[in-house]
């Protein structure tokens, strides 16, 4: 066994590393084995130097005591987020831990999950390099409040991110008009209106143009754009008014998981409109 040096990375990156290590352990694990996996990942990702000489086989890397405490901090946060629980099927106490039903669903997702803030936002920037700053600000706020179980706040800020993305799309579409009168007529119908009104006017235009749209946009328009927009908007309206309605964490998790795909589709449409006037 040999101790690696301290991992000098921010908390959210450290948490991302812990979640990646948990994925490799299945439904349950012991703390000691997890910290070894984290040390191995840190070496593999070249976050620290390998403590063993070249061509050395069979050595086991360990985290420093400081980083073991950081792992415990992350594990406690994952427990409060209902991703993990203490104990497993055969042992009811520490150092055994296991994934909850929600945790299994989150950890088994192919793409980075909202619990992994660094991985999730990195995926957003990777898939949409020119993402609008306002969208990213609201989405970042949403995933962070989601992780501390402030689900009403997370739902509202996700709705704001969705609304900003659609406003950008609608503004881009308005610029595709070559006829100035038609452009002004469309702007008059949408400018300053509630997002539902703006989207309804935009949707009328798209339905008339559907035959001219590429297959990739036509194929995903109803489910990816209309479906997700309505789902996020309905949840936001429910959370943004004093109805007493509670937000279901599974539903919000699903909304956050689909948001990046939804936003990328919006940006694909935006790019099409930027290149095609009418």
**pLDDT (tens digit, 9 = 90+) per residue, 139-163?**
999 999 998 889 999 999 999 999 9
- Whether omega for the bond prior to residue 95 falls within 30 degrees of 0, making it cis, is yes
Is residue 260 included in any domain, yes or no?
Answer: yes
pLDDT range class, residue 98, cuts 50, 70, 90: very high
Cα dihedral 143, 144, 150, 155 sign:
negative
Q: Does residue 152 sit in the same domain as residue 51?
A: no
Q: What is the CATH number of the domain that holds 8?
A: 1.10.10.10
Is residue 232 included in any domain, yes or no?
Answer: yes
pLDDT range class, residue 213, cuts 50, 70, 90: confident
Checking if the pLDDT of 11 tops 80, the result is: yes
User: Could you give the number of structural domains in the chain?
Assistant: 2
**Local structure of residue 70 (DSSP, 8 states):** H
Asked if residues 40 and 2 have their Cβ atoms less than 8 Å apart, the reply is: no
Cα dihedral 175, 180, 185, 191 sign:
positive
Which residue carries 């800020």 as its tokens?
157
Residues 6 or more apart whose Cβ sits within 8 Å of residue 173:
186, 202, 205, 273
From 107, 135, 153, the end of a domain falls on: 107
From 107, 129, 164, the end of a domain falls on: 107
CA distance 179 to 181: 6
pLDDT range class, residue 97, cuts 50, 70, 90: very high
Q: Does residue 152 sit in the same domain as residue 95?
A: no
- Rg (C-alpha) for the chain, rounded Å, is 23
Q: Does residue 161 sit in the same domain as residue 206?
A: yes
Q: Does residue 128 sit in the same domain as residue 96?
A: no
Q: Does residue 264 sit in the same domain as residue 140?
A: yes
Q: Does residue 85 sit in the same domain as residue 176?
A: no
Range of the domain at 80: 2-107
Asked if residues 167 and 194 have their Cβ atoms less than 8 Å apart, the reply is: no
Q: Residue 184 is encoded by which pair of tokens?
A: 């002004």
Asked if residues 41 and 21 have their Cβ atoms less than 8 Å apart, the reply is: yes
CA distance 243 to 159: 17
| Residue of higher predicted confidence among 101 and 53 | 101
Phi, psi angles (nearest 5°) of residue 100: -75, 175
From 107, 133, 154, the end of a domain falls on: 107
pLDDT for position 181: 87
Average of pLDDT values for 166-179? 92
CA angle 17, 124, 192 (to 5 degrees): 145
Q: Residue 138 is encoded by which pair of tokens?
A: 């609201």
pLDDT digits (tens, 9 = 90+) for 217-234: 888 888 899 999 999 998
Helices (H), 81-214: 101-107, 117-127, 133-147, 151-174, 180-190, 195-209
Task: Give, in order, the Cα–Cα distances in Å from 196 to each of 120, 130, 237.
Answer: 28, 25, 11
Q: Does residue 81 sit in the same domain as residue 188?
A: no
Burial label for 71, CB within 10 Å (0-12, 13-18, 19+), is buried
SS3 label, residue 204 = helix
Is residue 91 included in any domain, yes or no?
Answer: yes
pLDDT digits (tens, 9 = 90+) for 60-69: 899 999 999 9
CA angle 184, 187, 191 (to 5 degrees): 145
Is residue 112 included in any domain, yes or no?
Answer: no
* pTM as predicted: 0.77
Is residue 240 included in any domain, yes or no?
Answer: yes
Q: Does residue 145 sit in the same domain as residue 239?
A: yes
Q: Does residue 136 sit in the same domain as residue 263?
A: yes
Task: Give, in order, the Cα–Cα distances in Å from 213 to each of 52, 216, 221.
Answer: 58, 8, 10
Beta carbons within 10 angstroms of residue 236's beta carbon:
22
Q: Does residue 251 sit in the same domain as residue 148?
A: yes
Q: Does residue 140 sit in the same domain as residue 181?
A: yes
pLDDT range class, residue 14, cuts 50, 70, 90: very high
């Amino acid at each position: 066994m040999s101790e690696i040096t301290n991992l000098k990375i921010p908390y959210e990156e450290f948490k991302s590393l812990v979640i990646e290590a948990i994925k490799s352990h299945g439904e349950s694990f012991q703390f000691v084995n997890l910290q070894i996996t984290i040390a191995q990942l840190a070496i593999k990702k070249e976050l620290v130097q390998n403590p063993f000489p070249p061509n050395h086989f069979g050595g086991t890397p360990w985290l420093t005591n400081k980083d073991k405490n950081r792992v415990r901090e992350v594990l406690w946060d994952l427990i409060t987020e209902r991703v993990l629980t203490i104990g497993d099927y055969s042992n009811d106490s520490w150092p055994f831990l296991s994934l909850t039903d929600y945790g299994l669903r989150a950890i088994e997702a192919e793409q980075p999950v909202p619990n992994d803030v660094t991985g999730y936002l990195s995926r957003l920037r990777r898939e949409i390099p020119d993402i609008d700053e306002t969208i990213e600000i609201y989405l970042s706020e949403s995933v962070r409040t989601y992780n501390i179980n402030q689900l009403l706040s997370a739902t509202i800020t996700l709705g704001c991110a969705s609304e900003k993305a659609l406003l950008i799309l609608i503004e881009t579409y308005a610029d595709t008009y070559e006829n100035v009168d038609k452009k002004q007529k469309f702007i008059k119908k949408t400018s300053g209106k509630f997002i539902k009104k703006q989207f309804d006017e935009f949707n009328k235009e798209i339905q008339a143009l559907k035959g001219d749209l590429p297959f990739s946009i036509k194929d995903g328009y109803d489910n990816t754009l209309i479906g997700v927009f309505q789902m996020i908007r309905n949840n936001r309206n429910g959370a943004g008014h004093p109805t007493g309605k509670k937000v279901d964490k599974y539903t919000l998790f699903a909304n956050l998981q689909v948001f990046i795909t939804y936003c990328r589709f919006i940006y694909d449409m935006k790019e099409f409109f930027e290149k095609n006037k009418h």
